[in-house]
Structure 1
């Protein structure tokens, strides 16, 4: 479905939602919806990125098929949401690549990068401890610094275009704080009355998806904190890796890796139970590939740590670094981008409510 077709259908349904208002307490989408009387393309795109696909509105709705209105809010907003990510992706040529062959692309890149890292170990330094006995710190920095910064630059361009199209105005720290607070609680997966969502259990409420999202989010942040703290220790204090278990990088990284494993495994499991027709079925494979890629990042990191001091480290290091590099480079074009769009949508919503 083209973006214009998806938006046109979402606009038709939005006019019916606004007349009915039965779902006004379900999530942030409906109060935002009811503040408008007509809907521009930007308004529909903003509503789509506020939607967390909890599906409670679908199971409560009296106008779903076989009714002639044929409402399916989660599906149409999922289609608009995904098409908006492709529309704003930069460079545009990579926008739909991961959707079509996500698993194949991720697996191929991991294998290719792991092979390169394995070959690079032939240039290993004469001295070095831990991982640096297999691969020099200088080489890792030379590879991963641009691999981290360039995707962030691409996402920044995408966010600027999104913010402009949804009518975003300059927002203050209160808007960002509100968005971060809602994102941290995964507020919009708690249901209108805090009972949870209906993603995998149809008309039965469940908090499982919210908890797995929180495990994934906080696990990722802990892992990022571990890397950041290691960087500070290395450059600011001259303390080089490897670090002992009672150190900030390990105290953050090990629990973070475990949480990330549990969260992504849980999300993948729930995705197999959920009805694909209440999302965007064409991108199911790409979304699953992203979840599995994030799981692979955490799992290979934990296995590598467990193998410290063994002969398996060179192979596991190449595999882990190949997985991490693949994750970084695919971030602007995989579902990882949804976190940035959702945060922007929540900030825009806070901005609208403030004004």
Structure 2
């Protein structure tokens, strides 16, 4: 496609200049990988783009940005290639491109549509159980959410396989995956070249705020997943169905995970609104905000459910929360959420480069 070719050619031009300069060699994982190449294939550029965390330190340190004739803007060039790679590798591809161009509308419409679906399901599937099951039966929840959980895993699995082939990576080894997981866990590439943090939102201000926000969201999601997993085990293995007490593991994991999600998403949105849009993929700005907003609403509505208890507002909040969760699952392969999987794959592939 002409547009994809233009984006790759511009990224190639800038990468070749950076390869000659090498001033930013210690800034992040991108530059050692970039400097290891003499020429850049489309797969090489896709790998570099997904290694980049868009911290923008290299741009503010560069002497060849506008008004210099080289007009370098490597963060934007890699962001455009990265965004295009996610859309191109999405399964189905049309859904990936549609969400990125109309992110806010699709996120809102999908969440509202699923909420209405759950409201209808309440009338059809309620079995008079306790707590949330008085609104929607356990079997109905499983029937709806199990396929919705498996679909993104299947879709992203195919996409990552295509990505691995595109970048020409070798067969994955456990040591490479372990190294990638370690880097992802502490957000190494968001610490900045000298561990002072990045200046994502302000040229002269180095901060770890973006790294902390990413960690809050990541660990918040993991805690929410742990909450659901423990509750599932308690239900099926130990015959202890919900609702659970405030000090039970599902509640403790769920509340702490929800709080981290809300805090992390709020900081992310604030940082993104403060940042320079010319240094990222500007066409995806709305889609990124929609994704972060949807994720933050899931955390907030989940906490609201704990607060509302058995009040008259609980059924409405439950269907809104479940609708947002279902929308999140179904849209994961086509939203910014996919970047976590691609970045992990990129870090694992980069580990093959190191001896």
Q: Give the TM-score range, shorter chain.
A: over 0.9
Report the counterpart of residue 55 of structure 1 in structure 2. 56
CA distance in 2, matches of 1:90, 1:332: 7
- CA deviations on 1:70-100 (whole Å, 9 max, x unpaired) are 1101000000000000111111121211112
Larger mean CA deviation between 177-186 and 201-210 belongs to 201-210
Task: Report the secondary structure of 1:200's partner residue.
Answer: coil
How far off its partner does 1:193 sit? Answer: 0.7
Contact 2:89 2:159 in 1 (8 A): yes
How far off its partner does 1:204 sit? Answer: 2.1
Task: Report the secondary structure of 2:24's partner residue.
Answer: coil
- CA deviations on 1:165-193 (whole Å, 9 max, x unpaired) are 11111121111111111111111010011
Report the counterpart of residue 302 of structure 2 in structure 1. 301
How far off its partner does 1:332 sit? Answer: 0.4
The TM-score normalised by the length of structure 2 is 0.98
Contact 1:56 1:203 in 2 (8 A): no
- Corresponding position: 1:152 with 2:137: no
Report the counterpart of residue 3 of structure 1 in structure 2. 4
How far off its partner does 1:124 sit? Answer: 4.3
CA distance in 1, matches of 2:263, 2:310: 26
Report the counterpart of residue 124 of structure 2 in structure 1. 123
Report the counterpart of residue 18 of structure 2 in structure 1. 17
Across the aligned residues of Structure 1 and Structure 2, the Cα RMSD in angstroms comes to: 1.0
Contact 1:75 1:280 in 2 (8 A): yes
Structure 1, unpaired ranges of 5+: none
Report the counterpart of residue 316 of structure 1 in structure 2. 317
- CA deviations on 1:185-244 (whole Å, 9 max, x unpaired) are 111010011000010011321111111111111111101111111111111111101111
- Corresponding position: 1:227 with 2:233: no
- CA deviations on 1:55-74 (whole Å, 9 max, x unpaired) are 00000000000101111010
Structure 2, unpaired ranges of 5+: none
Larger mean CA deviation between 107-116 and 319-328 belongs to 107-116
Contact 2:127 2:136 in 1 (8 A): no
Contact 1:198 1:206 in 2 (8 A): yes
How far off its partner does 1:309 sit? Answer: 1.7
Larger mean CA deviation between 96-105 and 155-164 belongs to 96-105
CA distance in 2, matches of 1:168, 1:235: 41
Q: Equivalences for 1:53-202 in 2 at 5 Å?
A: 53-202=54-203
CA distance in 2, matches of 1:45, 1:126: 50
Question: Which contiguous aligned blocks of 4+ residues in structure 1 show a shift greater than 6 angstroms?
Answer: none
Report the counterpart of residue 346 of structure 1 in structure 2. 347
**Aligned residue pairs: how many?**
354
CA distance in 1, matches of 2:231, 2:325: 16
The TM-score normalised by the length of structure 1 is 0.98
